[in-house]
A = this chain, B = another copy of it.
Amino acid sequence: MNQRLEKLTGWMKENNIDVCLVTSTENVFYLSGFYCVPHERLLGLAVFQESEPFLVCPGMEKHDAKSSGWNQEIIGYSDIENPWALVEKAVKNRINGARRIAVEKEHMNVERYEHVSKIFPTAEFISAEDKLKSLRMIKDASELKIIQEACALADYAIEVGVQELSEGKTELEVLSAVEFALKKKGVKKMSFATMVLTGKNAASPHGSPGQTKIQKGDLVLFDLGVVIDNYCSDITRTVAFGDINDKQREIYNTVLKAQRAAVEASRPGVSCAEIDLTARRIIEEAGYGEYFPHRLGHGLGISVHEAPNMTSANELILEEGMVYTIEPGIYVPNVAGVRIEDDIVITSNGAEMLTKFPKDLQIIK
């Protein structure tokens, strides 16, 4: 049994949990090494205190599950079989009833919950999520190596994007060039839909790239990430295309100051809330508080959004190995949209930058 499964079964024993049924692509991958996107079909990993765990997956994925290195039982099912009957049998082969069952309450849907409840009508359901989040939150050396690679490619993508800027090009043209360059480097998947937003479009925190053309005096915002071996990076840079006005410059420098302060403040022993507030106070003091409507950042790993949640309400204390984004933004409609985002990892006495593209205001002529 691998170390991650051992930690999970340790927790199960401490909490008298008879079975833990993990069903999300990300957590199944984290625990088993098998990455599978089953769409609406059931994917699951059942873990027991003493008995052998098993995987359940669509039949057509069984071969890939084996190739991924999982060498314990794999239950495949066809599109016309009921996987729950197979799960019930496999579980009952291993244990006589269950009093406490852990599931991913934020992932498992009500329909599946009703299936599991029918198999064990008297069981109490515990959330496995907090435990899995806290395990995944601390990255080991092998994970960090992959994330570093994903971040280096994110830096490269920004470099390509900035080079591609020219007057009259559309957001989508620049975006295509960036993704094409990444694919040539072997990148198969982006962390999320790449954003290239210019001028007024950038003033929406979740705008969508389109046929808007880059014009002199625009701030151009890039937000993108790369997936390498199922781990994500996430970077945002905003650059000036041609000369910008004083207001735009003030907004840029406020975001930059807030971003750098939050990076500086990041170290073991400080709370997530304190990091968020470090940046937020700077933006508020500059008079832009109402234009920074989102959290400072989010954890990053197998999911592009995972723990720790970098909000002013999260009292979680930072520890070595945590990886998260720091991405303050100011969006003033019709004036400017600026966001600057880096990925960092907490070290024994501070933080290390994972994304490294320069952040001082760049004016592209």
**Interfacial residues, chain A to chain B (CB-CB below 8 A):** 39-40, 59-61, 63-64, 78-80, 103-111, 113-114, 125, 127, 129, 172-173, 175-176, 179-180, 183-184, 186, 188-189, 193, 204-206, 208-211, 293-295, 305, 311-313
Contact = CB atoms under 8 A, between A and B. Distances in A.
A176 B173 contact: no
Contacts of A173: 183-184
A60 B111 CA distance: 31
Contact of A107 (B59, B109, B125): B109
Nearest to A331: B60
30 contacts: A39-B305, A59-B293, A60-B206, A60-B293, A61-B206, A63-B204, A64-B204, A64-B206, A78-B293, A104-B110, A105-B110, A106-B110, A107-B109, A108-B109, A108-B110, A109-B109, A109-B110, A110-B110, A110-B113, A110-B125, A173-B183, A175-B183, A176-B180, A176-B183, A179-B180, A180-B180, A186-B211, A188-B193, A188-B208, A189-B193
A199 to B, nearest CB: 17
Contacts of A204: 63-64
- Interface of A, helix, strand, loop or mixed by DSSP: loop
A59 to B, nearest CB: 6
A183 B104 CA distance: 37
A111 B294 CA distance: 23
Nearest to A296: B79
A105 B113 CA distance: 9
A295 to B, nearest CB: 5
A117 to B, nearest CB: 10
